[in-house]
Amino acid sequence: MKPANIDEYVAAPVEPLASVVTLLRDTFDLALPETSTELWHGHPVWLDDELPIAGFKAYPTFVTVLFWRGQAIKDDSGKLNASGSAEMSEFKLKSVDDFDSELFDGWLQQVRELEAA
């Protein structure tokens, strides 16, 4: 059954991905307070003026983090990967051990700066 809202989406995965999606939701909510959130093409997305800027999608064995202007993010770690068309980048997590809060804070700061420009 498809989730009807973000709460249902976040409640659906089993561990270890349940902890990942909860952590990502909390991180994005805290770092992107001026945005709105919605299920967009079936997964959580944070929007600025109705345009997607960040989100994530859970798969059976990993969660993909999406940044719509991610190719404009300076990433010295080399962990962001170009994805799809336009400027999108992605990063995959298999557990909360893959989450680097300092790295994510830097990426999200750049997302905020890109959207403010």
Q: Which run of H or of E encompasses 10? A: helix 6-11
Check whether 85 has a pLDDT greater than 80.
Answer: no
Question: How many independent structural domains does the chain possess?
Answer: 1
**Closest C-alpha among 24, 54, 22 to residue 37:** 54
Cα separation, 71 vs 67, whole angstroms: 8
Residue 80 pLDDT grade (very low, low, confident, very high; cuts 50, 70, 90):
very high
Dump pLDDT digits (tens) for 31-69.
999 999 999 999 999 999 999 999 999 999 999 999 999
1 part of a folded domain: no
CATH number for the domain spanning 86: value is: 3.90.1150.200
Residue 84 pLDDT grade (very low, low, confident, very high; cuts 50, 70, 90):
confident
Cα separation, 52 vs 93, whole angstroms: 20
Query: What domain range includes position 37?
Result: 6-116
Cα separation, 107 vs 31, whole angstroms: 10
Q: Please give the span between the terminal C-alpha atoms of the chain, in angstroms, as a whole number.
A: 39
Two structure tokens written together for 104? 């994510």
43 part of a folded domain: yes
79 part of a folded domain: yes
pTM score, whole prediction: 0.93
